[in-house]
Copies of this chain bind each other. A is one copy, B any other.
Amino acid sequence: MTDPVRPPRAGAASRDRMIEAAIDLMRGSGLGGAGINEIVRASGAPKGSVYHFFPAGKLQIAAQALDSYAAGVHAFIDAALSSRDDPAAKVRALFDAFARRVEEGGFRRSCAVGTVCLDLDDETDPLRAVLAAALDDWATLIAFHLDLGDARRTRAMAQAVLAAIEGSYILCRVHRSSQPFRDAGTWLAAAIDAPRTR
């Protein structure tokens, strides 16, 4: 955010470009594709400026990129779920929005958080806290919108919705189709409408 009194810090634009490049690279092929060299190349920033803005290197830029990405997805989920009133219609709208999102990425961009979760090893395990916070935040947001009456059941449905979103990215990526999002949305909406589950 820009301070209204002082002029913007010099280099803030470079920093933002590096964060954007890191997000895009992680969405493309996970942590393995988002090394410092790749981020420098994709952002056009001078290599020295990476260590200026992110002195702790790759894990620091990854953590900040994941935080920034998570905030963007929060807004995306919130907008999709706010577009309808009925819980089942909200779920269908959410999966339709993700179907369009994966189409717009040419089936080459997944969820940065899900992708990095599966890439964790001993060295990158410190990122787990950032990933857990993002997934918790999204699940809480989905549960807030769905509100099926019982808090435990609502939370379980929110987790099932989130699991289906993350997994649909995998199927869409491989099949180069957005149909997996639509199939999962249809069935989870049906589950909400089932009388015995309310």
Report A's interface with B, CB cutoff 8 A: 28-33, 110, 114-115, 117-121, 124, 128, 131-132, 135, 156-157, 159-160, 162-171, 173-175, 179-180, 183-184, 186-188, 190-191, 193-197
Cβ-defined contact, A183 with B160, below 8 A: yes
Q: Closest approach, in angstroms, between the C-beta of A21 and any C-beta of chain B?
A: 15
Cβ-defined contact, A187 with B191, below 8 A: yes
Cβ-defined contact, A163 with B167, below 8 A: yes
Provide the bound-state CA to CA distance between A165 and B121, in Å.
Answer: 21
Cβ-defined contact, B194 with A28, below 8 A: no
A-B contact pairs, 24 of them (CB 8 A): A30-B32, A32-B119, A33-B121, A118-B173, A120-B173, A135-B170, A156-B183, A157-B183, A159-B171, A159-B183, A160-B188, A162-B167, A163-B163, A163-B164, A163-B167, A167-B168, A167-B170, A187-B188, A190-B194, A193-B194, A193-B196, A194-B195, A194-B196, A194-B197
Q: Given that A183-B160, A184-B160, A194-B190 are contacting pairs, would A131 and B174 also be in contact in the complex, using a CB cutoff of 8 Å?
A: yes
Q: Closest approach, in angstroms, between the C-beta of A67 and any C-beta of chain B?
A: 15
Name A197's closest neighbour in chain B (CB-CB): B190
Cβ-defined contact, A114 with B170, below 8 A: yes
Cβ-defined contact, B132 with A160, below 8 A: no
Q: Given that A160-B183, A190-B191, A193-B196 are contacting pairs, would A167 and B119 also be in contact in the complex, using a CB cutoff of 8 Å?
A: no
Residues of chain B within 8 A of A156, CB atoms compared: 183, 186-187
Cβ-defined contact, B179 with A28, below 8 A: no
Residues of chain B within 8 A of A169, CB atoms compared: 118
Provide the bound-state CA to CA distance between A183 and B142, in Å.
Answer: 15
Provide the bound-state CA to CA distance between A159 and B175, in Å.
Answer: 12
